[in-house]
Amino acid sequence: MFPDPGSLGNKNSSSLMLCSLLSTSELEMKYGTSIDKGLSSARAAEILARDGPNALTPPKATPEIVKFLKQMIGGFSILLWIGAGFSWISFGIQLAQGVDSAFDNVSGWAPTPPALGAFNTPQLLSNYKEASRSHQALPPPNTSDKSSNIATPPVDNSSLTGESEPQSRSCDFTHENPLETRNIAFYSTTCVEGTATGIVINTGDRTIIGRIASLASGVGNEKTPIAIEIEHFVYLVAGVAISIGVLFFIISVSMRYKILDSIIFLIGIIVANVPEGLLATVTVSLSLTAKRMAKKNCLVKNLEAVETLGSTSIICSDKTGTLTQNRMTVAHLWFDNQIYSADTSEDQTTQPFDQSSPTWTALSKIVTLCNRAEFRPGQENLPIMKRVVVGDASETALLKFSEVILGDVMSIRAQNRKVAEIPFNSTNKFQLSIHETDDPQDKRFLLVMKGAPERILERCSTIMINGKEEPLDSEKAEAFQTAYMELGGMGERVLGFCHLYLPENEFPETFQFDTDSMNFPTSNLCFVGLLSMIDPPRSTVPDAVSKCRSAGIKVIMVTGDHPITAKAIAKSVGIISATSETVEDIAKRLNIPVEQVNRREATAAVVNGMELKDMSSEQLDEILRNHTEIVFARTSPQQKLIIVEGCQRQGAVVAVTGDGVNDSPALKKADIGIAMGIAGSDAAKNAADMVLLDDNFASIVTGVEEGRLIFDNLKKTIAYTLTKNIAELCPFLIYIIASIPMPIGTITILFIDLGTDIIPSVALAYEKAESDIMNRRPRNKRRDRLVNQQLAVYSYLQIGIMQSVGAFVTYFTVYAEQGFLPSTLLGVRVNWENNAINDFEDSYGQQWTHYQRMYLQWTGYTAFFVSITIQQVADLIIRKTRRNSIFRQGLFRNKVIWVGIFSQIGIALILTYGLGHVTALNFTPLRFQYWFVAVPFAILIWVYDEIRKLLIRRHPGSECTPLILIKYFHFMSLFPPFHSHPRLSCHSQYI
Amino acid sequence: MAKETQKPFRQSMAEWRQFIYNPNSGEFLGRTAKSWGLILLFYLVFYGFLAALFTFTMWVMLQTLSNDIPKYRDRISSPGLMISPKPDTALEFYFNKSDSQSYAEYVTTLQNFLESYNDSKQSQNIDCARGKIFEQSEAAVKKACRFNLSDLGLCSGKEDPNFGYSKGTPCVLVKMNRIIGLKPEGEPQIQCTPKEEGMVSINYFPRDGAMDLMYFPYYGKSLHAHYLQPLVAVQLAIAPNATKEEITIECKIHGSPNLKNQDDRDKFLGRIAFKVMMSE
């Protein structure tokens, strides 16, 4: 296992905290450097030699040959290899015995795994593309803003912590946690404004990001659920093969076959049980689904991950960008003592709220003018929401907001020429500008200001109500406070707006404004209103979350953002549903301290990263178990990993979304890591199994549906494939027991497994979802297996046996009509196969040479083959549904199934009549009527299965089984009934 | 995922025991006796039904067949050749002409084989008109033509009970496979050729290795119960210089355009090859 992330944080702390505690001069001492001059070049070279370049060590790449070998022999392929090995052994035995036909028999058993490709597609790994700049100090200021001369340069930490807002940096030690303290800046973060000088304390892999990267590479890839299922399936098939093999070894020994012959039989049986075509089919099915998912913006890197998504039971989702649109948008307005809601959808073109009030006119003017953001030129034809803006997030939001409502903002600004401006900074927390007005009659200047609401209010003495300035009394201030709290409580960033028309006599047209000396009033202004902004949820997300919920998937939000914002977004997208409460909510409602609340009553929980840090894993487990709706806020990347592990301890299959480098350990740890295609870093994409091309949470839900569908369909495919395995095995068993001529050849079996059956089994991957696919719980990893007892028993012991019976009828018919009645065939094996006997007598007294008998035997093979093919058509049709009638599902809805059926019959026709004269393939032309011998049995299979489905629909639970045998139809049902689902209850709609 | 803790061996053993027989619920292999009984009953009924269905369909199919003639005979359009005696291993004769034990098996086989050709066994058979096909498709009971053992001359076993093996002139009987309705055209005759010249001279009985047309066609086991297929005896006079040498002899049917003797794949279609090695 990898180091516990908690302890990793501590290790960070020990070295980093020490540094963060030291003063500048102490640091200079410690690192032998100078804050002014930096290191001497000799010293720098020395350190470079000691520590290496300031670059991350790329993850150890697996050699291509190892990858290739893994593909060749991993998982399912091993079964085929063992089969191949056994074939050579039995070939060797036969050759040593001097059996001429060794070449005939054995070459057929050898499967061809390498050509089929392997189950896993190679992962599309590329190396980390970290820049290996060797910077000795923080990067130089990358903004050319001369006016930004501020003491606390903000740093964009988003790639490290996921915080969407820049964090300010200063020389003060503010926090024990190195990630939180203000006097450390990190590798891979950027200074968005201003300048800063610092001392490098760690480089390369010893940086925080380096540790995260090594953490990610230390997290082993867990086996995907489908890989586990395939392994289980291999065990099952191997178990069946070996038990039947050993059983018949004992039988053949006690029937006085030679030991060597018995061993060959044993090997033959084992190999006959290997479904050679399944590997190809499963891979193709998964690829098809992956392709379909790619069309829906889910790019799957690892084929097996396709299914993992379907069995997902918990999604740990990021907030920013995944659940939200990742752009600030004006959500609410407050003016005239009233809160108005704005449209926050992705493609807004108008705003519906009441815009008739003169206060709004004044407010809109401030919003438009007191704003430095601008559209990049040349985007006039784009929708407003899609245009690129130069400016920070809030200004952008305001610009777009006013552009939507007022139209051309740029020309409005041009008409109201700006004469002076104080841009926003974090000390005075306001932004101010002075404009000429667009009214030629009005020669006054307009001073507009926006900023933190409380700061703005401090500077105001009046407030505008319905266009009239009224004195700001305590009652109105109270109203302001209430509105401010309410908007803030919704997790929104609130800005206050005020203005002042400067008196014309004091500020004539020629007045020179000086922003340094502030020769104009900045108090006693007129308060106009509040605007609040939020990164709104994507419009498709609430629906997707509710779909997840009905699909039994728990959605957990894990974000670096503030709890209030996180909770607000969680509520608006339905992660916390409208009716559920957190412990804090209950405490507030009942007016009791939080400690007294019964924690079991709260279905929702908002957990702060700080709380999480102090929690034991038992406490975390308890939260994950007891609350259905959970939000983790202010979490660090390491904590994300802890949360993922906690979920996995619950036995859940966890999907994690992430974009930053910091997310990569969690992405790797998760059963399925989902990286963001647009916002995601390369490291995240590397660590993930899947990439969401549109960063949209809703795409995950589509992926879940596809994943579940492929699981269902793979089940159908395997059931289909396993069935005919029995029809291929039975002849061999009967051949041993009854000593009849061999009913089906090995080459023929391969032509079924790798020929006629391939396209139909792939066609099942195109089967449409049954209507309840998103209404059932995620499958239980331990209980709902891909191949369970029911499926195996139903395929092997029921449908498979029926197929064998049908095929044997054809076989006996062919022999009987050529002169060998069934009674004659029993016990003839040794003489029949004897090369030297060329006057073998049939039931009518005719005599056959060895070759004539062999030719008849091949006709028997062909007949058996054709019968299996015909019955596989019925098998294919019955596998279309699990419990619905075929007539309900529609015979023709899945066109690909028909392509499968026609290809199946087409290939059989070509083999029989086209290649019927190539003796090496052991096919012979077949009389036309033999194609129909098995048809009644095919119909029987269909009817039988319809009856089974009818019974399990009528009597889904064993508690309402009037017929004694129905209970045992359950035993036969492919899928255990989902008792939770109302449709499947006794009073189902089918009755 | 949390690492799965390995269960202690004793616990997993106990779980297995529990699975095999659970005394609390009376479950055996995860099911109660009643449950197992019902499953058994189900499969009994199910397989009983399938067996009945199989039997029924086979019965229906057999009803469509005639007792006398197989429905199709296209897989054996041309007959194969076979010899008697047929050595156990391959078609290779090894014997010592002075050691009666070494060829006793061949002699017994020949005697047994010719048993059914004895005159006493052929009392019901009739003398047919030689040289032409004996058509009797109208007759309800098909008659068999007599095959006189004396036609086999020195190889009939009457004059020489050892069929020439003791004299270095071993007899091998060549016969043609029975095929219902086969009517050879022309004058079919067996001709054998040794691979190496000068080692052996070959005598045929009847003369020229002829197979008389009167023995054809064959009407099948049930209609043509006493049918005897014509035989050609080949007597190999092995040259004194060829003892202890392996002589390969190939016999073919000639003289009949509808009897194939040169099939690439079927080495016994209208021909047969065997080896003889005699020591003194």
Cβ atoms of A263 and A249 closer than 8 Å: yes
Amino acid A150: pLDDT: 43
Q: Which residues of A are the active-site residues? A: 318
Per-residue pLDDT tens digits for A445-498: 899 999 989 889 989 999 999 888 889 888 888 999 999 998 888 888 899 999
Residues of A in contact with B273 (CB under 8 A): none
Distance CA A294, CA A262 (A): 51
The tokens for A640 are 């994300």
What confidence category does residue A148 fall into, taking pLDDT thresholds of 50, 70 and 90? very low
Cβ atoms of A492 and A332 closer than 8 Å: yes
Q: Are B220 and A846 an interchain contact pair (Cβ–Cβ within 8 Å)? A: yes
Cβ atoms of A533 and A283 closer than 8 Å: no
Q: Which helix (H) or strand (E) holds A92?
A: helix A77-97
Q: Are A850 and B58 an interchain contact pair (Cβ–Cβ within 8 Å)? A: no
Q: Are A222 and B220 an interchain contact pair (Cβ–Cβ within 8 Å)? A: no
The tokens for A722 are 């396993």
* Window 165-194 of A, Cβ < 8 Å to B: none
SS3 A167: strand
For residue B220, the distance in angstroms to the closest alpha carbon of chain A comes to 5
* Window 194-223 of B, Cβ < 8 Å to A: 218, 220-222
Residue, of A153 and A345, whose pLDDT is higher: A345
**In a 10 Å sphere around its CB, with 0-12 CB exposed, 13-18 middle and 19+ buried, how is residue A131 labelled?**
exposed
Average pLDDT, chain A: 79
**In a 10 Å sphere around its CB, with 0-12 CB exposed, 13-18 middle and 19+ buried, how is residue A560 labelled?**
buried
Amino acid A977: pLDDT: 40
- pLDDT at residue A891 is higher than 80: yes
Q: Are B54 and A805 an interchain contact pair (Cβ–Cβ within 8 Å)? A: yes
Contacting residues for A669 by C-beta, under 8 A, at least 6 apart = A219, A222, A641, A644, A645, A648, A656
Residue, of A734 and A114, whose pLDDT is higher: A734
Q: Which of A668, A796, A798, A847 to mutate to test the interface with B (most CBs of B within 10 A)?
A: A847
Round the CA-based radius of gyration of chain B to a whole number and report it. 31
For residue B263, the distance in angstroms to the closest alpha carbon of chain A comes to 10
The 8-class DSSP code of residue A754 comes to: I
Asked if B76 reaches chain A (Cβ–Cβ under 8 Å), the answer is yes
Cβ atoms of B171 and B204 closer than 8 Å: no
- pLDDT at residue A373 is higher than 50: yes
Asked if B266 reaches chain A (Cβ–Cβ under 8 Å), the answer is yes
- pLDDT at residue A675 is higher than 70: yes
Kindly give the pairing relationship between strand A314-317 and strand A654-658.
parallel
- pLDDT at residue A809 is higher than 90: yes
Q: Are A851 and B265 an interchain contact pair (Cβ–Cβ within 8 Å)? A: yes
- pLDDT at residue A130 is higher than 60: no
Q: Which helix (H) or strand (E) holds A8?
A: helix A5-12
Residues of A in contact with B65 (CB under 8 A): 816-817, 821
Residues of B in contact with A647 (CB under 8 A): none
Q: Are B2 and A648 an interchain contact pair (Cβ–Cβ within 8 Å)? A: yes
Residue with tokens 């043609």: B176
Residue, of A713 and A959, whose pLDDT is higher: A713
What confidence category does residue A581 fall into, taking pLDDT thresholds of 50, 70 and 90? confident
Asked if A1 reaches chain B (Cβ–Cβ under 8 Å), the answer is yes
Instruction: Give the amino acid at A840.
Output: F
Residue with tokens 């894990």: A558
The 8-class DSSP code of residue A352 comes to: -
Amino acid B243: pLDDT: 82
Cβ atoms of A486 and A459 closer than 8 Å: no
- Window from A225-234, A389-398, A867-876, B176-185 with minimum mean pLDDT: A225-234
- pLDDT at residue B126 is higher than 70: yes
Per-residue pLDDT tens digits for A223-250: 777 778 877 887 888 888 888 888 888 8
Per-residue pLDDT tens digits for A414-441: 888 888 888 887 777 888 999 988 888 8
Per-residue pLDDT tens digits for A193-229: 677 777 778 887 778 777 777 766 666 666 777 778 8
Per-residue pLDDT tens digits for A488-526: 888 888 999 999 998 888 888 888 888 888 888 888 899
Amino acid A84: pLDDT: 79
Chain B residue closest in CA terms to A818: B72
Residue, of B5 and B164, whose pLDDT is higher: B164
SS3 A792: helix
Residue, of A938 and A968, whose pLDDT is higher: A938
Work out the percent of chain A whose per-residue pLDDT is above 90: 18
For residue B86, the distance in angstroms to the closest alpha carbon of chain A comes to 9
Q: Are B80 and A852 an interchain contact pair (Cβ–Cβ within 8 Å)? A: yes
What are A654's strand-pairing partners?
A: A314
CA angle A916, A918, A922 (to 5 degrees): 70
Asked if A808 reaches chain B (Cβ–Cβ under 8 Å), the answer is yes
What are B231's strand-pairing partners?
A: B175
- pLDDT at residue A56 is higher than 80: no
Chain A residue closest in CA terms to B73: A818
Per-residue pLDDT tens digits for A305-315: 878 888 899 99
What confidence category does residue A982 fall into, taking pLDDT thresholds of 50, 70 and 90? very low
Does the complex come out with an ipTM higher than 0.85?
A: yes
Residue, of B3 and B29, whose pLDDT is higher: B29
Residue, of A427 and A338, whose pLDDT is higher: A338
Average pLDDT of span A321-337: 86
Cβ atoms of A534 and A500 closer than 8 Å: no
For residue B227, the distance in angstroms to the closest alpha carbon of chain A comes to 10
Per-residue pLDDT tens digits for B190-201: 999 998 888 888
- pLDDT at residue B5 is higher than 60: no
Cβ atoms of A72 and A252 closer than 8 Å: no
Secondary structure (DSSP) of A656-678: EEE-SGGGHHHHHHSSEEEEETT
Asked if A848 reaches chain B (Cβ–Cβ under 8 Å), the answer is yes
- pLDDT at residue A108 is higher than 50: no
- Window from A193-202, B89-98, B153-162 with minimum mean pLDDT: A193-202
Nearest to A327 by CA among A407, A408, A389: A389
Q: Are B50 and A801 an interchain contact pair (Cβ–Cβ within 8 Å)? A: yes
Among the partner residues A809, A841, A927, nearest to B57 by beta-carbon distance: A809
Q: Are A836 and B86 an interchain contact pair (Cβ–Cβ within 8 Å)? A: yes
What confidence category does residue A59 fall into, taking pLDDT thresholds of 50, 70 and 90? low
The 8-class DSSP code of residue A198 comes to: -
Work out the percent of chain A whose per-residue pLDDT is above 70: 85
- What are φ and ψ of residue A162, in 5° steps? 85, 0
- Helix axis angle, A697-738 relative to A850-878, nearest 10°? 150
Asked if A809 reaches chain B (Cβ–Cβ under 8 Å), the answer is yes
Distance CA A17, CA A4 (A): 19
Between the CA atoms of A235, A241, A245 and A248, what dihedral angle is there, to the nearest 10 degrees?
Answer: 130
Cis peptide before B217 (omega within 30 of 0): yes
Nearest to A647 by CA among A549, A558, A732, A751: A558
Asked if A790 reaches chain B (Cβ–Cβ under 8 Å), the answer is no
Per-residue pLDDT tens digits for A749-804: 888 888 898 889 888 888 888 777 888 888 887 777 888 878 888 888 999 999 99
Among the partner residues A1, A801, A841, nearest to B3 by beta-carbon distance: A1
Distance CA A821, CA B221 (A): 13
Amino acid A405: pLDDT: 86
Residue with tokens 């059996």: A99
Residue, of A42 and B4, whose pLDDT is higher: A42
What confidence category does residue B168 fall into, taking pLDDT thresholds of 50, 70 and 90? confident
- pLDDT at residue B2 is higher than 60: no
Positive or negative CA dihedral for A59, A63, A64, A67? negative
- pLDDT at residue A98 is higher than 70: no
Residue, of A258 and A94, whose pLDDT is higher: A258
Residues of A in contact with B223 (CB under 8 A): none
Amino acid A151: pLDDT: 52
Chain A residue closest in CA terms to B70: A819
What are B37's strand-pairing partners?
A: none
Residue, of B173 and A662, whose pLDDT is higher: B173
Positive or negative CA dihedral for A444, A449, A455, A457? positive
What are A633's strand-pairing partners?
A: A608
- pLDDT at residue A575 is higher than 60: yes
Residue-wise over A655-682: b if at least 16 C-beta within 10 A, else e? bbbbbbbbbbbbbbbbbbbbbbbebbbe
Average pLDDT of span B109-121: 89
Residue, of A873 and B265, whose pLDDT is higher: A873
Average pLDDT of span A255-282: 78
Kindly give the pairing relationship between strand A445-451 and strand A493-502.
antiparallel
The length of chain A is 991
- pLDDT at residue A538 is higher than 60: yes
Q: Which helix (H) or strand (E) holds B173?
A: strand B171-176
What confidence category does residue A16 fall into, taking pLDDT thresholds of 50, 70 and 90? low
Distance CA B19, CA B69 (A): 59
Among the partner residues A844, A856, A964, nearest to B180 by beta-carbon distance: A844
SS3 B84: strand
3-state secondary structure A427-490: CCCEEEEEEECCCCCCCCEEEEEEECHHHHHHCEEEEEECCEEEECCHHHHHHHHHHHHHHHHC
* Window 632-651 of A, Cβ < 8 Å to B: 645, 648-649
Q: Are A839 and B89 an interchain contact pair (Cβ–Cβ within 8 Å)? A: no
Amino acid A956: pLDDT: 66
The tokens for A937 are 């049995």
Residues of B in contact with A841 (CB under 8 A): 178
Cis peptide before A962 (omega within 30 of 0): no
- Window from A163-177, A222-236, A820-834, A928-942 with minimum mean pLDDT: A163-177
Q: Are A846 and B73 an interchain contact pair (Cβ–Cβ within 8 Å)? A: yes
- pLDDT at residue A35 is higher than 60: yes
Residue, of A69 and B117, whose pLDDT is higher: B117
SS3 A291: helix
Per-residue pLDDT tens digits for B37-79: 888 898 999 999 999 999 999 999 999 999 889 999 888 889 9
What confidence category does residue A74 fall into, taking pLDDT thresholds of 50, 70 and 90? low
Contacting residues for B66 by C-beta, under 8 A, at least 6 apart = none
